[in-house]
A and B are shown apart, each in its own frame.
Chain A
Amino acid sequence: DTGVSQDPRHKITKRGQNVTFRCDPISEHNRLYWYRQTLGQGPEFLTYFQNEAQLEKSRLLSDRFSAERPKGSFSTLEIQRTEQGDSAMYLCASSLGLMMNTEAFFGQGTRLTVV
């Protein structure tokens, strides 16, 4: 197991275009998180899944953002009609089980630049 994998690592898109990111969690991890991180800031929670169920979606997330986790495996995060303010690092993390002490493992992130 190579850890949490995110694809692509970098994405440059024109304003108004749609983009989709993929996250492959560590196998058997049933909890999957998406965070957004801007330069010099801490990760901001976007949404998370328990298996295929999306448990919570941040109020920061506009209707242009949608996430899925079909069959409780990999997850995708789609941003429609991108805006310059969407430029950020998008981080995915996964953890095993429902216990609070379980470690969340992070991927290397997808850096989005909207021009």
Chain B
Amino acid sequence: AQTVTQSQPEMSVQEAETVTLSCTYDTSESDYYLFWYKQPPSRQMILVIRQEAYKQQNATENRFSVNFQKAAKSFSLKISDSQLGDAAMYFCAYRIRDDKIIFGKGTRLHILP
């Protein structure tokens, strides 16, 4: 079965500090995409960053970067210089070929002023 596991239900970080959210996944496929989505309170989900499994280079988007370890099936998200607007639920997800997107249960991130 295809699964995505986020082992940290909640995390807190001081404003301007760096935080890392963990994600592991299980698949027998070799070609797939990984995503981190952000869901602010009462707002719609938006894509934060994506990673192609065939690329060794880790994706970065401004303050957001990933650490992709394909052999370990690990895909963590690092947020640098945390801002109050980063407070949200973060979902790790993956997709194989043209299949559906499978989500983890999420990590709630609190930003402490």
Contact of B106 among A40, A91, A103 (CB under 8 A): A40
Cα separation A33 to B50 with both chains bound (whole Å): 19
Cα separation A100 to B53 with both chains bound (whole Å): 11
On whether the beta carbons of A100 and B32 are closer than 8 Å, the reply is yes
Q: Which partner residue on chain A sits nearest B31 by CB separation? A: A100
Q: Which of chain A's residues 58-115 have a Cβ closer than 8 Å to chain B?
A: 91, 93, 98-101, 103-104, 106-109
Instruction: Provide the residues of chain A in CB contact with B102, threshold 8 Å.
Output: 45
A16 at the interface (CB under 8 A from B): no
On whether the beta carbons of A100 and B33 are closer than 8 Å, the reply is yes
Contact of B43 among A41, A93, A100, A108 (CB under 8 A): A108
Instruction: Provide the residues of chain A in CB contact with B9, threshold 8 Å.
Output: 40
Instruction: Provide the residues of chain A in CB contact with B95, threshold 8 Å.
Output: 100
Cα separation A50 to B99 with both chains bound (whole Å): 10
Instruction: Provide the residues of chain B in CB contact with A104, threshold 8 Å.
Output: 47, 101
Cα separation A50 to B100 with both chains bound (whole Å): 11
Q: Which of chain B's residues 1-54 have a Cβ closer than 8 Å to chain A?
A: 4, 6, 9, 31-33, 37, 43-47, 50, 52
